[in-house]
Structures are given as C-alpha cells and as structure tokens.
Amino acid sequence: MSRDLKGKRAIVTGASSGIGRAIAADLVKAGVRVVLASRGADKLNEVADALRAAGGDVLAVPTDVTKPDDRSRLIETTVSAFGGLDLLVNNAGVGSWGHFADSTEPICRTVLEVNFFAPVELTRLAMPHLTRGNQPALVNVTSMCGRKGMPAWPEYSASKFALVGISEAWRAEFQRYGVDVLTIVPGLTNSGFEKNWLRNDGKADLRFDLGMTPEYLAAKITDAIRKNRTETVLGTEAKRLLRFNRYFPRLTNWLLARKVKKLYAGK
Ligand SMILES: NC(=O)c1ccc[n+]([C@@H]2O[C@H](COP(=O)([O-])OP(=O)(O)OC[C@H]3O[C@@H](n4cnc5c(N)ncnc54)[C@H](OP(=O)(O)O)[C@@H]3O)[C@@H](O)[C@H]2O)c1
C-alpha cells in the first residue's frame, strides 16, 4: 500500500524542537496539514510561523501531553480546524540518563507518563477520528532502547519497550478500523535531546554530535508513512546493535555489563 500524503490532516506532538519539528516540516513539504503540539507556546508559534512562511497549513496548539484536558483540547481543536484527522505522530518524549540505583520514583513516573501513558491516552482520544480518516495511520516514535534495554537508560528503556509493545498489539487490533500502526525505532540523533533530560549523569561517551540529523530522520519517517512500513529502525549503530543482540543476546549482555564495570570501577 502506498499512502498519498497530499491534503492529509496530522497531529505531531513534540513539534517545537528536534525530531518533531523536522517531522512537521517534512510533512508540510509533502502537502500535509499539520497541528503542532508541545508545551512551550513561544517556541511552538515560532515553528508555526516558519512553516506558514514556507506555505504550510499549520496550527499551533500548546499542549502538555500528560494533561487530560490538554489532550482533549488538542484533538477537538484539530478536528474543528481540519474537519478530521488522518495521522497522529506520537513523538513528544523525555529522557533520563543515569543508573537506577541513584534514580528516583518521580523520575520513573515522569518518564513513563510522557513517553507511554500520554501517547496511549492521546491515541484513545484520536481513534474515533482516525477511524473515519483518509488512509489513517498512527505513528509512534520509540527508540532503539525500546528494542534493547540499555544501561543508564532504565526508565527510558521501560517506557519505550512499553510503547513498542502496545504498538505491536494495536497493529492487529486496529486493522478492524482500517488504522495502520507504524513504529519508528531511532538510534542516536543530533537533536538537542540531551538538553531536556531529567538527569544527565550517565558515564558513557555519548556522541550525539555524530548522530543522525533530525532532518534525515524526518525524511525516513515520511518515507515510512508513505510506504506504510510497520517498523523502521533508523541509524547504523542502532541497526548494528539490534542485529547483533538478536543473534548473540548473551554476548551483547556480557559486553554491556563489562562496559558498565569498567566505567564504574572503584565507584
Ligand atoms: N535524539 C535521540 O537520539 C533520540 C533517539 C531515539 C528516540 N528519540 C525520541 O524522539 C522523540 C523526540 O525527541 P528529540 O530528540 O527531538 O528531543 P527534544 O528536542 O528534547 O524534543 C522533545 C519534544 O517533546 C516536547 N515535550 C516534552 N515533554 C512534553 C510534554 N509533557 N507535553 C508535550 N510535549 C512535550 C518538547 O517540547 P516542550 O518542552 O516545549 O514541551 C519537544 O518539542 C522522543 O520521543 C525521543 O524519545 C530520540
């Protein structure tokens, strides 16, 4: 199946920066009408202005995806402005980098709220509209940590595994309603993600500057939506790690544990 994007109506969460902003821009380029959602109104309006200047039909709806009233307002505003909804891109997310032993319950709950419960509840509200949409799709931006739990990313890995899992379950369920479920599994991306982490005290040498650009990722995501790709792993490093783990899971775990021991020797 090939999805024609021209004239489709989309919501992109986390659209004020990084990957979400790039996805919104790429969808606009493809002729999609886009509702931009994230918390900071000023940044969101800036993005909306830039996309309008490029000829886009966009609307900024400041939204905290963890707040039920905000989620309802986002869906209602979209449907009343665009007359329906064809694509929901659940992209907003937050990271926390550090070991579980010195993490906290609020960090764990916040990461799960933003990365799992919020997209799940937004999807619940969007479904009645997606069901009536034109070639509708739900696009969930997860992470390579959602396919392989990584040290120093315990809460984040849990949240992304949960999103990958529910996406797999939904994929078959939502066929009843003609709604496709597409899972995006990115590796390291140079998006500024690390500036917004709840914690930043892991020890490995994470080189986001060597990661994919958000624009590259966005182009691949648009392509996945067009081609209706069920699961798209993005980034050489992510592909390599996930393939190695599939064939050599015990060796992968041993190597990760060895790395942790080395990094934390004497601490
Ligand atoms: N960068 C990477 O290496 C990488 C790799 C794999 C997966 N990912 C995933 O890609 C997605 C986008 O991340 P990014 O790298 O673009 O990071 P980012 O630049 O920090 O963008 C995160 C976006 O989410 C929004 N956001 C955060 N909390 C929110 C909330 N409660 N309600 C609404 N919006 C919220 C932020 O805007 P406000 O703060 O204004 O709300 C921002 O627009 C995330 O799901 C992340 O887990 C990133």
Which helix H or strand E contains 203, and what residues bound it?
Answer: none
Do the beta carbons of residue 133 and residue 9 sit within 8 Å?
yes
Cα 176 to averaged position of ligand 1 atoms, centre (Å): 31
The structural domains of the chain, ordered by start, are: 9-236 (3.40.50.720)
pLDDT at 205: 87
Average pLDDT estimate for 192-206: 93
Q: What is the DSSP letter of 114?
A: I
Mutate to test the pocket of ligand 1, among 39, 116, 144 (most ligand atoms within 8 A of CB): 39
Q: Which atom of ligand 1 is nearest to the CA of 189?
A: 3
Summarize pLDDT for 84-103 with one digit per residue, the tens. 999 999 999 999 999 999 99
Q: What is the DSSP letter of 146?
A: G
The amino acid at residue 162 is A
pLDDT at 1: 81
Q: What is the DSSP letter of 212?
A: B
Average pLDDT over all residues of the chain: 97
pLDDT reading at 267 higher than 80: no
Name the pTM for this structure.
0.98
Cα 14 to averaged position of ligand 1 atoms, centre (Å): 5
Cα 188 to averaged position of ligand 1 atoms, centre (Å): 13
Dihedral of CA 67/73/76/80: which sign? negative
pLDDT tier, 14 (very low <50, low <70, confident <90, very high otherwise)? very high
**Residue 156 a catalytic site member:** yes
